[in-house]
C-alpha cells in the first residue's frame, strides 16, 4: 500500500470519494488491515474496553496508548495512523504537547482529542508545533460521567448549533480532521458540508467523508454489546479478510451505513 497522508484525505473529500477506517491495537491486525489497503487506522482508547475489559475509557494511560501505537505502526507503516490522547492527558495545552510528543514518537501521524471550543488553544499549540490533530465531537466517551451515559448528542437545536460552531472553531485553530460520534445524520451532513477538512463518522450517518468502526464490532467479537450503528461484517462474509474488504467496499460505495445503522 502506498503511504497515506492527510493530503489524500483532503483530495478525496474534494472528489467526493468516501473512505473507511478502523481501530487497531496490535501489529497482526494492523498488517491485515494494511494488506487490504485500509487507508486510516485509529489506535482508539476504546482499547480500555475491548482489550482491557474495563467499563469505560477513563483508566487508559498515555503509556498504554504509546505501547499500542508502536505495535500498530510496526504492522502498518503506510496507513495514516491516528492515536487517541487518553483521559486527562491534554487538560492543558502544555500537557497536551508533552503527551502528544510521546504518541508521535511512537509512530502516530495525528493525535485525536475529545472536546469542543475549550480545545481551541490546545489545537493551535499542537499544530503550530507540528502535531496534526483530529477533533472528536458528539458523543465523546471520556465525558461519559458528564453525559450520564453513552447518549446521542446534538438532538436539540442549541446543542446542534454549538457542535457546528465548535467544529468550525477547531478547523480554524488548525484541526485537520473532525470525527463525529453518535450524532443525528442530518447534523453530521451539515457539519461535513460546512467544513473544508475531512469528517469521519461513527454512528453519524452516510454523509460524512469517511467512516470508522471499532474492529471488534466490525468482526462481531466485542465482549459487550454491539452498538446499533455498527455492523458485523464477519457474519456476512465468514472470512476476516473478506469482512474487511466488504466493509471498505460498502463504505466506498455508500452502502454502509444504511438506514438500519443510522441515527435519525
Residues with active-site annotation: 181
Grid coordinates belonging to 40: 486510516
Grid coordinates belonging to 104: 508521535
The beta-strand segments (E) located in the chain are 19-23, 40-43, 80-84, 110-114, 133-138, 177-181, 199-202, 210-213
Interaction pattern, residues 88-117, with ligand KIV; x per rule: CB under 6 A: ------------------------------
Residues between 171 and 200 that touch ligand KIV (CB under 6 A):
179, 181
Rg, Å, the chain Cα set: 17
Q: How far apart are CA 222 and CA 217, in angstroms?
A: 6
From the list 38, 40, 45, 192, which residue makes contact with ligand KIV (rule: CB under 6 A)? 45
Residues between 215 and 254 that touch ligand KIV (CB under 6 A):
none
Of 37-45, 85-93, 236-244, 247-255: span binding ligand KIV (CB under 6 A): 37-45
Query: What's 199-216 look like in SS3?
Result: EEEECCCCCCCEEEECHH
From the list 24, 32, 46, 263, which residue makes contact with ligand KIV (rule: CB under 6 A)? 46
What does the binding site for ligand KIV look like in residue numbers (CB under 6 A)? 23, 42, 44-46, 84, 179, 181, 202, 212, 214
Q: Which residues are annotated as a binding site for 3-methyl-2-oxobutanoate?
A: 45-46, 84, 112
Amino acid at each position: 500500500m502506498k503511504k497515506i497522508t492527510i493530503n489524500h484525505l483532503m483530495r478525496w473529500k474534494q472528489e467526493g470519494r468516501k473512505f473507511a477506517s478502523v481501530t487497531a491495537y496490535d501489529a497482526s491486525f494492523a498488517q491485515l488491515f494494511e494488506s487490504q489497503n485500509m487507508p486510516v487506522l485509529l489506535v482508539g482508547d476504546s482499547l480500555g474496553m475491548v482489550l482491557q475489559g474495563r467499563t469505560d475509557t477513563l483508566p487508559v494511560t498515555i503509556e498504554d496508548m504509546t505501547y499500542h501505537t508502536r505495535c500498530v505502526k510496526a504492522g502498518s507503516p503506510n496507513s495514516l495512523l491516528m492515536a487517541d490522547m487518553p483521559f486527562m492527558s491534554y487538560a492543558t495545552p502544555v500537557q497536551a504537547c508533552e503527551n502528544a510528543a510521546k504518541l508521535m514518537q511512537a509512530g502516530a501521524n495525528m493525535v485525536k482529542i475529545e472536546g469542543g471550543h475549550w480545545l481551541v488553544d490546545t489545537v493551535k499549540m499542537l499544530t503550530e508545533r507540528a502535531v496534526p490533530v483530529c477533533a472528536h465531537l458528539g458523543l465523546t466517551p471520556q465525558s461519559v460521567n458528564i453525559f450520564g451515559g453513552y447518549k446521542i448528542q446534538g438532538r436539540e437545536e442549541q446543542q446542534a448549533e454549538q457542535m457546528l460552531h465548535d467544529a468550525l472553531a477547531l478547523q480554524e485553530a488548525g484541526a485537520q480532521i473532525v470525527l463525529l460520534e453518535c450524532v443525528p445524520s442530518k447534523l453530521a451532513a451539515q457539519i461535513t458540508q460546512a467544513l473544508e477538512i475531512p469528517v469521519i463518522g461513527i454512528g453519524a450517518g452516510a454523509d460524512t467523508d469517511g467512516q470508522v468502526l471499532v474492529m471488534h464490532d466490525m468482526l462481531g467479537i466485542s465482549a459487550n454489546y454491539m452498538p446499533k450503528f455498527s455492523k458485523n461484517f464477519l457474519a456476512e462474509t465468514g472470512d476476516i479478510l473478506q469482512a474487511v474488504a466488504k466493509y471498505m467496499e460498502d463504505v466506498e460505495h455508500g452502502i454502509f451505513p444504511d438506514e438500519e445503522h443510522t441515527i435519525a
